[in-house]
Structure 1
Amino acid sequence: MEKAVEKYFPEHSNWDLPKFRQEQAEDIQIIAQGLKYTPSLVIYDNGEGQHPEDFDDTFLSLLRGNKNEIHFVQGKYNMGGSGALVFCGDKRYQLIGSRRYDESGDFGFTLLRRHPLSGEERTRKKNTWYEYLKIDGSIPSFPIGNGLDLGLHNRPFTTGSILKLYSYNLPSGAKSIITRDLNRHLNEFLFEPALPVYTIEGRRDKYPHDKNPERDLYGLKRRLEDKQDKYIDETFSLDCESEDIGGKIKITCYVFKSRIDGKSVKETKKAIRSEFFQNNMRVVFSVNGQVHGHYTTEFISRSLKYGLLKNYLLIHVDVTDLDVEFRNELFMASRDRLKQGDESSTLRNLVAKELKSSRLKDIYKRRKSSMNVESESTKDLVRQFAENLSMDEDMTKLLNQTLKLDQRSDNGKQKRKSPSSKQRKNSSRGGDKPSFEGHRHPSYFNLRSGQDVDGRRVITTPLGGQRTVKFETDVEDQYFDRVRDPGDLKISILDYSPNETKGGDELGHPDQVSDIFDIVKSSPDKGKIRVRMKPKSNVSVGDAYQTKVSLSAPGQNLEEIFWVKIGKPRKNNGSTKTEKSEPDLDNLIGLPELIPVFESADKGKATWANLADVIDMDYGTIMHPFVNEEDRLEKIFVNMDSRVLLNYKSSQSGEEGIKIAENRYLSSVYFHTLFLYTITKNRGYQIKQPPEDGYSQPEEVELGDYLKDVFDSYYSEFLLNFETGVLIEAIAD
C-alpha cells in the first residue's frame, strides 16, 4: 500500500497541509442525506469505475477472488459491498452507479434489495435472498456527457463509482452530525489510511448550528499527532521480528495524560474516550493501515496487569509484514475481529511479553508512585477491626489465596520492611538528571555496547539467551513514529565467520538478519536506542556475524558496524526455588493498606487533590480499590468526606458518637470491599455490562470498577443504616 501511494500519488507529502489534503479528499466522499437519525449515506469514489456490462463480475459478484493478486487493495473475499446491505433499513436497498475512469462508456446503475417474499413464497421458502435490477437482461445505462449533479461536494459526477445506502443504521454515538461523530468512528478503524476522505453533512436543515459541515479524515494516527501536546504524555514503539510469528510486527504505544486542561480525572477519561475510543478499541491490529481486529481494556488489565493505565493507553500493532499464512489465521473474513486460535494466542502473548519489558513498565511505575501519598498509619485500626472478626481457618485461607499474606517472625515484627516514603520518592525520581532535548533529525549515532577485540568491536550474546545492544543519538523520541518525515533503523548482515568446528575462519555468505536473530528494536528514548538480539536455534556457539545498524538521516545514513558472536548458553546455578512455608495467618499482615482520604489537608495527609492524577474523588465517591500488577488488592482508599458519611455523622451526637460512626464507616467499607473482591476473584466470576449501542457484545467490567460503582450506588448507605437487630425485632413483632 505504501509503495502504491508513492507511485501513484507523488505529491502525497503535501497532504499534511489542510488545503492539499482537502483537495485530495474530494475524490472519496461520504455524504449524509435524508432523515436525522437514519440517514441515507452516499459514498463516492473517483477511482477506476466499471463499465455497465462488467457489473456482474465486479460489484455484483461474490467470492470470485478477483483482487487476490493486487497487493495494494484491502479486498480479499470480494464481499465488501454486500456487507453493508444488512444495515440498509428494513428493505435493504442499495444503489450502485459507475462510469469507467477514461469516460469510454456510459453511466451504469442498479438497485439491490432483499427480496420481499410473497404470501405463497413464505409457505415454500425458508429464507429470503438479495437481488439486483436488470432491464431486458442488462444493467441499465445511459450517457452522461459532462457529468451528473448527484449532490457531491464541489464537483459533478463524471467518472468513478457511487453508492447510496438507504436508511443506514449507524452505530450508537455516530447517529448525529456525521462530520463529527461518524468521522471519529471511521478514524478509529482507519488508523493510517492510504488516502484522505471527506465526510459531508448534507442535512443542513437538521443541524443549522453546525459550523463544520465538511471535514476531512486521515486516520487516528494523524489525529493523535495533531493533538499530541494536549492529550499525549508519551509515545514509543517496538519493532519485533520473531520466528514464532513468522515475520515482524510494529507495536506503538500512546500514553495519554492523566489530566488535561485542568479537568478532573473523571472528566479527562470521558474526554479521551469521546475523542479516541468511541468503540473501546484499546489495542488495534491493522493491515495496511486498516484495523482488522482489536482488544478492549481487558488486555491492559489482564495480560499486562497495568490496570492504572487502562483508560490512558492505546496500543497499535501493525501486522502488515507478518507471514501471510499466519496473518490469515488471525482475522475473521469480516475483518472486524480476531479469531480465537493458536496464532492469535501466540501474537497476544508476544505483544504482552514485549510490552511488559519495555518503557511501559517504567511509565506504569511512575503512575503508580503518585498513589504513594503519606497517610496516618491505619495498621493498628485494621488490626483492631480484624481481631473483632470471627474468622475460621477456611475464611483465613480464602483471604490468603488472593492476598498472599506475609509471614511474621516470632517477635511480631514483619520480615520484609517496606521502603520509606523518602526512599520511594528518590526511587521514582531516578536522580537529578539533565533534561534531554532531542533534535528533529540525528547528527550522531554511537554504539555503547561490546568490547574491542583485536581491532574489532565484538558483542557476545549467549545461545538460548538474548543481548540488548545500546546506541546513543540526539534525535527526538518520536523519530520512528511521527507521521511527517519519520526515520528508520535498519539492521543487515555484512559478513559471517563460522566457528572452528565448521571449518576454520573462512568467510561465508552473509545471511538475512531474520535468518539468524529474533530482533526487537525500540524507538529512541531520551537519546538511547536499544536493539535486543536473540539467536535462533540454527546457529552455533562460536559463530560470528558482522552486523551493520543504520539510522536514517538527511543526506547520509549514520552507521555502526560491529561483530555479534554467539556465546555459550548461560549456566543454571543449580539452585531451585523451595516452596514457601505456610505463613502465620493469625496476624493477617498483608491485608490491603487502608488509606483514609480527605477533602482538604487540614483533616489528613491523603487528600482528593494529591491523588487527583490517578483517582477522581468527590462527595459522591465512597472508595477506590487499587489492584496491583500482581493482581492483588494492594490498597483501599476510603473517602472520609463522602456525602454518605457526612449525612450519617450528622445523625450522631457527641464526639464519641462521631468517632464511632467514622470507625463503623471505615470498617464496613474496608472489609466489605475486601471480602467481595476476594470471593468474586476466587470464584472466577466475570461481570459484564450491556453495551451502550444495544447490539454489540457485552463488555467485561473490571472487578475494581464494579465494586467502586456498587459502593457509590447506595450500598455504603445501606451498610451504615441497616441494623440487623431492628430487623429481627420487626420480624418477631
Structure 2
Amino acid sequence: MNNKELAISLVKADTEKEIINILKKEGYWDNSDVWQLYGGKENNFATIGNQKSRAEDALVEKIVNSVDAVLMAECLKRGVKTDSPEAPTSIADALEKFYKVDNGKLSNITPNERTKLAENIALVSTGAKSNPCYSIIDKGEGQTPNRLPDTILSIDKNNKLRTPFVQGKFNMGGTAVLRFCGRENLQLIISKRNPDIKIQEELDDSVNCWGITVVRRENPPQGVRSSIYKFLAPDNKILRFESESLKLMPGIYPNAYQNDLSFGTFIKLYEYQMTGLKTNILFDLNYKLALLMPSIALPIRLYERRKGYKGHTLETTLSGLSVRLDEDKKENLESGFPVSGPITALGQKMRASIFAFKRGRSTNYTRDEGIIFVINGQTHGTLSKSFFTRNAVRHSYIADSLLVVVDCSELDGRSREDLFLNSRDRLASGELRSQIERELEILLREHKGLNQLRERRRREDIEDKLEDSKPLADVIENILKKSPTLSKLFIKGVRLPNPFNIASSKSEEKFKGKRFPTFFTLIKEYPEGSPKDCPRNVRFRVQYKTDAENDYFDRDNDPGKFSLYVNGTEVENKQINPWNGFINLNVLLPENAKVGDILCFESKVEDVSQIEPFVSKFFIKVTDIEKKNNSSTKTSRKKSSTKNRGNDSENTSHLDLPNVIEVFKKDKNWISKGFENETALHVFEDGQGGYDFFINMNNIHLLSEQKSNGNIDSKLLNARYKYGMVLIGIALLKEYNDKIERSIEETNNEIGNIFTHIKYTTKVLSPILLPMIGSLGSLKLDDVESSLEPEIN
C-alpha cells in the first residue's frame, strides 16, 4: 500500500487486531527501527501513565485540544500570532471576535448557530457496541508531518503556554487517553496544516502533505522498569502523502467515513475502555462530557455510527453543562436559581454558582458529583453530594438536588498546583482546599434561598405523616425506663421537637427584583457607640435589604459592584449572598485585629445607573477568641435558639427524639428517597440539628418474617422492626455527635457520610434483626449453660 491507502485502511479498522495485521503486512509492526520515542523521552511512561484515572476525563483532554486548535486557527488565519498583544485576551474575547458570540457564552446564540459552529469539531463512535472506538476530528490549524513530533506527539512543550485564549495549557499532548486504548494502547493520528494559515516560523517542505502515524505502547525492555510509548516514523520521519482531501468525516448513519476533510486533525482511539458509558453516545457519554466540560469554548458534534442503533437522529450537539442548564432552566431548576457569587480563600478569588434542581431532575445532569471545580471551562476535580450533608452545611434534604460549580480560572499558577493533582482530575489535600471547603460550607449553610427550599421539601415529605409518629415517644420512653443503658443515648430525655420552623413556614410574597436597585440599606445599624461583637476566630454577618435582582452582582451585562473597606483598606475575604431582597454579608476579620479594637467598615454598592453609590457604615468590636467546648458529652450545653442555629457557635449535646415516618411502596417518599425492597432506614438532618427517620415498612425481610412466623402478631413484628431500627439509627448518630463534641479528628468525607453509613448498616442488619430479637428473647439459662459445658470423652 502507498501511504494514502495505509491511512484509509487504518482509519476504517475498528480493532487492535486489524491494526496490528495491517502494520505487520507493511513490515512496520515488528521492526523496532521504525518506532520513535514519544516526546523524545525514554521514560515517557512516567508522564503519560500518571494522568487521568478515568477514561472519560482523558477523552476530554483530546476534545479540548481540538477546541484549542480551531480557536488558534482562527487567530493565525488573520495573520496574528497566538501569543502576540493583538491576539484575544481570553476565551470569551476570542468567541466574540471570531464568531460574534455575545460575552463569549454559547447560550447567547441559537441552537442552530451552535450546530453550525459544531461542524468544526466531531466526536464519532464506531466499532462494536461493547468495545467502541472514538474518533476526534477537528477543522483547526492542523500540523504538517514535520511539525507533528513537536506538537501533537510532544510532552512538556510550551506550545500553548502563552496563548491566553485556549483551554488546555498543561502541555501533555492529550496523552492521558493512551492507557485506555485497548491492550496495546493504539492511537491513530492523521493531520494536515490549514492552508489559510500563512504564518510560518520557518520553511516547511511538508506543508501541503498529510502526516500519518500510529502510537503504541511497548512492554518494558530487559532491565527497564517501565513501558515505553513510541510512534511510527520510519527513518525518523512521519509518513506523508499529498491529497486535496480525505473521506474522514461522518455521513448519514451508519456511514462513518463519507464526507471530505480537507485539513485539520483526525485522531482515532481503538477499543477505548469507557467503563459504564458505552451506550449510545447521545446519552450517557454526552451527559458525562457536558459535566466535565461545563463551559466548553466551542460546541462539539457527536455522531453515533455503530451499527444496530435506531432513532430519528443519531447525532447531536454538545455545548456543555452551562448551556444545557440555561436552556432547561424553567423546566428543571427551582425558581430563583442559579445564583452565584465570589468566594476568596488564602487570597485567591473564585466564583461559585449554585444550581438547585426540581425533584428528580438532577439525574440528567449529575450522578454523585455535588461540587465541580472548573478551570477554563474544564472540570479538574469534584466533591460528592455528601458534602451537602455535612454537619457544617445541613442540607441532606436537598443534597440530591444541588450542584455547585466553582470557577477556579483566576487562581495563580502555584495555587492551581496546590489545589489539583497533576492528573488534573482530583483535588489535592492541603490548606487551600480546606479553606475553599470552609468558604463553601458557609455559603451553602447560610444561603436563605437554600434554607427555604430545604424547609419546603421537608414539609412536603413529612407534614401529613407526623400524626403516625407521635405514639413513638411513649413507646421509646417505656423502653428507656426499663433499660438505663439505652436511656444514656438521650442526654436531655425524650421529647418530640417542633418539626418545623414556624417563622419560615409562612408563605412569602413572590419577589420581583429591579434591574438597578433604588435602595441598599443595612437591616440593623451598628453605630460606633454600639458596635457588633465578633470573636477573632469566627466570621461575623450583617444583612442588607434591597430591591435588586438576585443576579445583580453576577450578570454579564451591567452588573453591580460591591466593595467593602475596613478602616480605609479594602476587604478581600468576604461573601455576599443575595436572595429575594436580602443580602447576607459574611466577613472574616483582619489577621492583625486585636481584642478591644473597634473597626469601622464601610460598604459601597455602585453600577452604571448611579451618580452616587449606596454607602453603609457599621462598627465591629473585636472580642476574645471563642473557645471550643471540649468537655465530655455528659455535660450538656445550653441549646441555641432556632434563629441562631447554623452559626459557628451552635452545637447540641443531646439527641432529640427523631420524627419517624413510615414508608410504603405506594408512598411518594418511596421514590423520592430512593427506597428499594431491602432498604431499612434513611436518615435526613432537618437543618436545625434534629433528624427525620424514614423507615421502610415494606422491607422484604420484614414481610418475609411476617409470612413465615405466624405465631407472632404482625403488629408486634412491625413494632420490633421499627423500634429496633430507630434505636440502631440513634446509636450511630450518637457516636457521630460525640465525636464532634470531643473534637475527634475525622476526614470531612467520613463526617459527611454518616447518613450513608446508617443507610447501609441498617440494610445489612434488616435480615437478622427480627430473628435475633425473637431467638435471643426466648433464650433460657439452661440453653446457655449447656452450650458452655466441656465435651466429655
TM-score norm. by structure 2 comes to 0.70
Specify the alignment match of 2:756 in structure 1: 702
CA shift, 1:331, in A, is 0.8
Distance in 1 of aligned mates of 2:532 and 2:157: 50
RMSD of aligned alpha carbons: 4.5
Match of 1:387 in 2: 481
- Hey, what does 2:39 align to over in structure 1? none
Q: Closer, same or farther in 2 for the Cα pair 1:61/1:664, shift >3 Å?
A: closer
Equivalent of 2:660 in 595, 598, 609:
595
2:683 to 619, 625, 628: 625
Change (3 A) 1:643 1:534: closer
Runs of at least 5 residues in structure 2 that lack an aligned partner in the other structure: 1-90, 199-206, 253-258, 637-652
Q: Secondary structure at the match of 1:77?
A: coil
Instruction: Select the residue among 162, 172, 194 that pairs with 1:101.
Output: 194
Which residue of structure 1 aligns with residue 521 of structure 2?
448
Pair 1:68–1:215, CA change in 2 (3 A): same
Distance in 2 of aligned mates of 1:543 and 1:405: 41
1:420–1:247 CA distance, 2 compared to 1 (3 A): closer
Secondary structure in structure 1 of the residue aligned to 2:113: helix
Corresponding position of 1:237: 339
Relative distance call for 1:289 and 1:486 in structure 2 (3 A) is farther
- CA change 1:471–1:46 in 2 (3 A) is farther
Q: State the TM-score, normalizing by the size of structure 1.
A: 0.75
1:8 is aligned to: 98
Shift, 1:355, TM fit = 2.0
1:472 aligned residue (533, 546, 549): 546
Q: Report what 2:453 is aligned to.
A: 363
Q: Cα distance 1:256–1:547, how it changes in 2: closer, same or farther (>3 A)? A: closer
Q: What amino acid is the match of 2:481?
A: E
Which residue of 1 is the match for residue 413 of structure 2?
324
Q: Does 1:196 align with 2:299?
A: yes
SS at match of 1:84: helix
- CA deviations 1:125-179 (Å, max 9, x no partner) are 433311112233322222222x22113459521222221111111131x111112
CA distance, structure 2, for counterparts of residue 729 and residue 467 of structure 1: 65
Instruction: Give the secondary-structure state (helix, strand or coil) at the position aligned to 1:470.
Output: strand
Q: SS of 2:167's equivalent?
A: coil
Q: CA deviation at 1:705?
A: 2.1
- The answer (yes or no) to whether the contact 2:343–2:350 under 8 Å persists in 1 is yes
CA distance in 2 between partners of 1:685 and 1:498 (Å) = 37
Q: How does 1:476-515 map to 2 (within 5 A)?
A: 477=550, 488-491=559-562, 513=570
Aligned pairs (5 A) from 1:327-366: 327-359=416-448, 360-366=450-456
State the match for 1:170 in structure 2: 274
User: How much has 1:577 moved relative to structure 2?
Assistant: 8.0
Give runs of aligned pairs for residues 240-251 of structure 1, distance below 5 A: 240-242=342-344, 244-251=345-352
Partner SS state of residue 724, structure 2 = helix
- Is structure 2 residue 233 aligned with structure 1 residue 134? yes
Asked if the contact 1:31–1:199 (Cα under 8 Å) also holds between the matched residues in 2, the reply is: yes
Please give the secondary structure, in 1, of the residue aligned with 2:331. Answer: helix
Give the conservation status (yes or no) of the 8 Å contact 2:294–2:379. yes
Q: Is the 8 A contact 1:620 1:642 kept in 2?
A: yes
1:181 has 2:284 as partner: yes
Deviation readout 1:651-701 (Å, 9 max, x if unpaired): 6779x94554444333333334444665688799999x9xxxxxxxxx998
The answer to whether the aligner puts 1:277 opposite 2:335 as a matched pair is no
Number of the residue aligned with 1:692: none
Q: 1:677 to 1:535 in 2, by over 3 A?
A: closer
Specify the SS of the correspondent of 1:102: coil
**Alignment check: 8 A CA contact 1:626 1:704 kept:** no
Whether the 8 Å CA contact 1:636–1:670 is kept in 2: the answer is yes
Matched-pair contact (CA < 8 Å) for 1:236–1:522: no
- 1:216, CA displacement in angstroms? 0.6
Cα-to-partner distance string for 1:222-247 (whole Å, 9 max, x where unaligned): 222333333322524342353x4223
Residue of structure 2 equivalent to 1:112: 214
Distance in 1, Cα, partners of 2:516 & 2:661: 52
- Whether the 8 Å contact between 1:116 and 1:128 is mirrored in structure 2 is yes
What's 2:246 paired with?
Answer: 148
Cα distance in 2 for partners of 1:564, 1:677 equals 44
Quickly say closer, same or farther: Cα 1:143–1:3, change in 2 above 3 A: same
> Which residue number corresponds to residue 29 of structure 1?
122
1 CA distance for matches of 2:587 and 2:635?
A: 41
Distance 1:167 1:196 in 2: 25
Structure 1 residues 3-29: Cα deviation after superposition (integer angstroms, max 9, x where no partner): 232233224567631111100011111
Larger relative helix fraction: 2
Contact 2:333 2:358 in 1 (8 A): yes
Helix, strand or coil: the match of 2:161? coil
SS of equivalent to 2:282: coil
The Cα shift of 1:30 comes to 0.5
Instruction: Give the 3-state SS of the residue equivalent to 1:194 in structure 2.
Output: coil
2:531/2:598 contact within 8 Å kept = no
* Pairs aligned (count): 641
Map of 1:405 onto structure 2: 491
Q: What are the residue-to-residue correspondences of 1:536-575 with 2, within 5 Å?
A: 536=590, 548-551=604-607, 557-558=609-610, 561-563=613-615, 565=617, 567=619, 569-571=621-623
Aligned to 1:57: 150
Distance 1:542 1:594 in 2: 45
Equivalent AA in structure 2 for residue 219 of structure 1: G
In the TM superposition, residue 333 of structure 1 has moved relative to its aligned partner by: 1.9
Partner of 1:309: 398
Specify the code of the residue in structure 1 equivalent to 2:342.
C
Residues 490 and 549, structure 1, Cα contact 8 Å, conserved in 2: yes
Residues 201-216 of structure 1 correspond to what in structure 2 (within 5 A)? 201-203=304-306, 205-207=307-309, 209-216=310-317
Secondary structure of the residue that 1:251 maps to in structure 2?
A: strand
Q: Partner of 1:353: helix, strand, or coil?
A: helix
The answer as to whether partners of 1:85 and 1:93 remain within 8 angstroms in 2 is yes
Q: Secondary structure at the match of 1:340?
A: coil
Deviates more, 1:668-677 or 1:374-383: 668-677
Q: What is the distance in 1 between the residues matched to 2:324 and 2:611?
A: 33
Structure 1 stretch displaced more, 157-166 or 6-15: 6-15
Q: Alpha-carbon deviations, 1:484-507, whole Å to 9, x = none? A: x666322469xx9978xxxxxxxx
